[in-house]
Amino acid sequence: MIFNARLAKKGRSWLQGEPLPFVGAPHLDILAIIGLKVETTIGCCEWETAITQPLYIDLFLKFDNTLPSASDSLEDAIDYNTLATQLRIKMQLEKNKLIETVAEKMAAWVLEDKRVKEVKVVVHKRHAVNATEDTYVSITRSHVHHQPAMFDL
> Do the Cβ atoms of 27 and 64 come closer than 8 Å?
yes
Instruction: Quote the crossing angle between the two packed helices 99-110 and 80-92, to the nearest 10°.
Output: 140
Residue 125 bears catalytic tag = yes
| Gap between the Cα atoms of 13 and 93, Å rounded | 42
Question: H-helix or E-strand containing 62?
Answer: strand 53-63
Q: Are 56 and 42 spatial neighbours (Cβ–Cβ below 8 Å)?
A: no
Per DSSP, the chain holds a count of helices (H) and strands (E) of 4, 5
Catalytic choice (37, 90, 105, 125): 125
Residues marked as catalytic: 125
